Structure 1
Amino acid sequence: MYHPTVARLTYKGLLGRRRALILFALPLLLIVISAAVRALSGADDSAATSVLGGFALAAMVPVIGVIAGTGAIGSEIDDGSIVYLLAKPLKRPSIIFTKLLVAIGVSVLFSAVPTFIAGFILNGNSQQIAVAFGVAAAVASVAYSALFLLLGVVTRHAVVVGLVYALVWEALIGNLVPGARALSVQQWALSLAQRIAGEGTVSSDVGLTAGVIGLVAVTVVATWFAGQRLRVLKLAGEE
C-alpha cells in the first residue's frame, strides 16, 4: 500500500517554497507567543491551556492540516500532472494511502511537535499539559489530513473549503455552538488531552469514547472515500 516514489514526489510538492513558508510561519508564531506569555506571566497552567487550546489546537493544527492534506494531491489534480501518476500500474487506494501518510507526517511535524515544545516553554509540562496537547495535536493531524486529502480529490476549491471549515466551523462555531462541538475534530482531540492532563486542567464537551470513535471514523471513511473517488476521477482534458 505504501509506494516510496509517490511518497518522495509528494514530500517534494508539499515542501515547496510557498507552502514551506506557511508551514514554518505558524509554528514559529506559536513559539514566539509562548515565549512572550512565559516572560510576562511566568509558568501559568491557565495561560498554557489558553494558548495551546485557543491558538495551537483551534487554529494552527487545522490550517496546517489544510495545507498538508489538500497539497498532497490537490495541486496535481489542478494542473493535470496527476495523469502521469495514474498512468502507472499503481492501485488508486495505494496512491491515496501513500499520500495520506506523507500528509500526516508533515502535519505532525509542523503542528504536534511545535505544540509539545510550546507547552514546555509555557509551563514546563506542569499537569502534563504539554504532553496532553501534543498528543491531541497529533491525533487531530491524522483526522485533518484524511479529511482534507478527501477534499483535494472531490473539489478543485479544496483549500478554500478547507480553510472555511477550519476557521469557521472548528475555531468559531465549534467553540460557540454546543451542538456543533460533538462534530468537531478539535473537541474529539481535546477528549484525549483531558484524559492525559491533570484533573480539571483541560475540558472537552465530548467523552473519550465518542472522541476516539469520531477520530477513527473520520480518518477511515475519508481515506476510503478518497480512494473510491480517485478511481473514477476525470481530469479537465477528459471531460
Structure 2
Amino acid sequence: MYNRTVARLTYRGLLGRRRAFILFALPALLLVISVVIRVLTGADDDTAANVLGGFALATMVPLIGVVAGTGAIGPEIDDGSVVYLLSKPVKRPTIIFTKLVVAVGVTAAFSAVPTLIAGFILNGNSQQIAVAYAVAAAVASVAYSAIFLLLGTVTRHAVVAGLVYALVWETLFGSLISGARTLSVQQWSLALAQKIGAEGAITSDVGLPLALVLLIGVTTLATWYAGQKLRTLTLAGEE
C-alpha cells in the first residue's frame, strides 16, 4: 500500500521553496510567541492552554494541514503531471495512501513537535498540557491531511476551499459557536487532549468515544473517496 517512489516525489513537491516557507514560518511564529509570553508573564498553565489551544491547535495545525494535504496531489492535477503518475503500474489506492502518509508526516512534524516544544517553553509541561496538546495536534494532523487531500482531488481551488474551512469553520465557528464544535476536528482532538491532561486543564465539547469514532470515520471516508475521485480522473484521462 506504500510506494517509495510516489512518497519521494510527494516529499520533494511539498518541501519546495514556497511551501517550505509556510511550513517553517508558522511553527517559528508559535515558538517566538511562546518565548515572549514566558519572558513577560512567566510560567502559567492557563496562558499555556490558551496559546496552544487558540493558536497552535485552532490555527496553525489546520493551516499546515491545508499546505500539506492539498499540496500532496493538487499541483499535480492542476499542471497535468498526474497523468504520468497514473500511467505507471501503481494502484490508485496505493497512490492516495502514500500521499496521505506523506501529508500526515509533514503536518505532524511541523505542528505536533513545535506544539510540544512551545508547551515546555510556556509552562514546562505542567499538568501535562504540552504533551496533551502535542498528541492532539498529531491526531488532528491525520484527519486534516485526509480532508485536504480529498479537496485536492475534487477541486482546482483546493487551497482556497481549505483555507475557508480552516479559518472560518475550524478557527472561528469551531471555537466560538457551540453547535459547530461537535463537527470540528479541533474539538475531536481536544477530547483526547482532555484525557491526557490533568483534570480541568483542558476541556472539549465532544466526548472521547464519539471523538474517536468521528476522527476514524472522517479520515477513512475522505481517503476512500479521494481514491474514487482519482480513479475517475484516470478514466477521464484515458478517454
| Percent of aligned pairs with the same amino acid | 74
**How far off its partner does 1:53 sit?**
0.2
Q: For residues 1-239 of structure 1, what are the structure 2 equivalents within 5 Å? A: 1-233=1-233
Q: Distance in 1 between matches of 2:35 and 2:210?
A: 34
**Contact conserved, 1:80 with 1:235, CA < 8 A, in 2?**
no
Structure 1's unaligned 5+ residue stretches are none
Which residues of structure 2 form unaligned runs of 5+? none
Secondary structure in 1 matching 2:190 = helix
SS of the residue 2:119 aligns to = helix
Q: Do 2:83 and 2:234's aligned partners in 1 also have CA atoms closer than 8 Å?
A: no
1:157-197 deviation line (CA, Å, top 9, x unaligned): 00000000000000001112111100000000000000100
Q: Tell me how far apart the structure 1 counterparts of residues 205 and 39 of structure 2 sit (CA, whole Å).
A: 31
The code of the aligned residue for 1:22 comes to I
Q: How many residues align?
A: 239
* Contact 1:70–1:159 (Cα < 8 Å) also in 2: yes
Which residue identity lines up with residue 125 of structure 1 in the other structure?
N
Cα RMSD (Å) of the superposition?
1.3
For the residues of structure 2 that align with 1:209 and 1:194, how far apart are their CA atoms? 12
Distance across 2 between alignment mates of 1:161 and 1:43: 38
Are the equivalent residues in 2 in contact too, given 1:77–1:235 (CA < 8 A)? no
Q: Which amino acid aligns with 1:152?
A: G
In structure 1, give the amino acid aligned to 2:209: T
Any conservation in 1 of the 2:86–2:234 contact (CA below 8 Å)? no
The 10-residue stretch of structure 1 (172-181 or 60-69) with the greater mean CA deviation from structure 2: 172-181
SS at structure 1 position matched to 2:233: coil
Q: What is the CA distance between 1:32 and its match in structure 2? A: 0.2
Displacement, 1:63? 0.2
The alpha-carbon deviation at position 238 of structure 1 amounts to 7.2
Counterpart Cα distance in 2 of 1:173 and 1:184? 9
Distance 1:131 1:229 in 2: 37
CA distance in 2, matches of 1:157, 1:236: 19
The residue matched to 1:233 in structure 2 has which SS? helix
Question: How far 1:236 sits from its partner (Å)?
Answer: 9.0
TM-score (norm 1): 0.98
